[in-house]
Amino acid sequence: MRIGVVFPQTEISADPGAIKDYAQTAEGLGFSHISTYDHVIGANPASRAPGRRWPYTFESTFHEPLILFGYLAGVTTAIEFATSIIILPQRQTVLAAKQAAAIDVLSRGRLRLGVGLGWNEVEYEALGENFHTRGRRVEDQIALMRELWTKPLVTYRSEFLNVNDAGIAPLPVQQPIPVWMGATVDAAIRRAAKVADGWFPMVPAAKAQETCDMVRGYVRDAGRDPAAFGLEARLEVAQETPDTWAGTADIWRAAGATHLSVNTMRAGLQTPSDHILTLRRVAEALGVRPS
């Protein structure tokens, strides 16, 4: 099981030096990947209907994942970059494919593209995309991106997308780039099992075995090989103690997870340095070592 970290988007600050230090420390400690969330724009709750809970607002710091990875590709050498996730249907498909290919080239093949539908209609509205057709469009988007990543010229026509004998250059190192999906409802999990290379299960370790068994069954139902399908679990430092970190990792490993990401956000850490210090403690507890 590959153990990585969740980039602390909302708590890392806007300091490029702190971002570089964090990534280089994670790589130096031996973590296998950096995962990061995606939110393009935040709403002002005061101007919205009262009573709605907003996990993130206009005050929440979010570095754009693909721009971030372009920067980190230049200051690291081995650590993998994973979006977990970018909200694909609110992005233009060909542009997203081009940006992902560029990151893959600049990082020499270190991108894993996690995608999902999102929950925030405010972002879709601001980006000029239809919130209500996002589920129908995402499979189409993935299919076109894979074509663009593996062929010099593509002709593709569907209800939502149209490319006429055109292509992107340079093509990515990975052909195609791995596409994983984030999903929580059953229909979306089945979609991931059908079209994605892996899935991000957002469930507690107590449900690890039943969750992994469930999605592997869905992968079989789709006529695919469960052994080739990835699963990336989450260790939430805010919900655990140092004494339970290793046990949580062991539970997910036994359930068949291929990846585990350690999230240090919402754990009361005050500075980027606190996040880095916590990474060191987690690495020691989980036996993470430089390769």
Given this model, what pLDDT does residue 110 score? 98
The residue count of the chain comes to 291
Chain CA centroid to CA 113, Å: 6
Beta partners for 83? 36, 113
Given this model, what pLDDT does residue 119 score? 86
Give the amino acid at 291: S
Residue 60 has pLDDT above 90, yes or no: no
Contact at 8 Å (CB) between 8 and 271?
Answer: no
In a domain, 1, yes or no: no
| pLDDT tens, residue by residue, 150-200 | 999 999 999 999 999 999 999 999 999 999 999 889 999 999 999 999 999
In a domain, 61, yes or no: yes
In a domain, 142, yes or no: yes
In a domain, 291, yes or no: no
Residue 87 has pLDDT above 80, yes or no: yes
Range of the domain at 13: 6-286
Given this model, what pLDDT does residue 22 score? 96
In a domain, 281, yes or no: yes
Cα(first)–Cα(last) distance of the chain, in Å?
14
Please report, rounded to a whole number, the percentage of residues in the chain having pLDDT higher than 90.
88
At 31, the pLDDT band (50, 70, 90 cuts) reads very high
Contacts of 51 (CB under 8 A, 6+ apart): none
Given this model, what pLDDT does residue 264 score? 96
Contact at 8 Å (CB) between 167 and 152?
Answer: yes
Q: State how many domains the chain has.
A: 1
Residue 148 has pLDDT above 80, yes or no: yes
Contact at 8 Å (CB) between 129 and 89?
Answer: yes
In a domain, 47, yes or no: yes
Mean pLDDT of 83-99: 95
How does strand 179-182 pair with strand 111-116? parallel
In a domain, 221, yes or no: yes
Using H for helix, E for strand and C for coil, what is the string for the chain? CEEEEECCHHHCCCCHHHHHHHHHHHHHHCCCEEEECCCCCCCCHHHCCCCCCCCCCCCCCCCCHHHHHHHHHCCCCCCEEEEEEEEHHHCCHHHHHHHHHHHHHHCCCCEEEEEECCCCHHHHHHHCCCHHHHHHHHHHHHHHHHHHHHCCCEEEECCCCEEEEECCCCCCCCCCCCEEEECCCHHHHHHHHHHCCEEECCCCHHHHHHHHHHHHHHHHHCCCCHHHCEEEEEEEHHHCCHHHHHHHHHHHHHHCCCEEEEECCCCCCCCHHHHHHHHHHHHHHHCCCCC
Mean pLDDT of 218-238: 96
Which tokens is 110 given? 């270190």
At 100, the pLDDT band (50, 70, 90 cuts) reads very high
At 291, the pLDDT band (50, 70, 90 cuts) reads confident
CATH number at residue 186: 3.20.20.30
At 48, the pLDDT band (50, 70, 90 cuts) reads confident
In a domain, 255, yes or no: yes
Given this model, what pLDDT does residue 43 score? 86
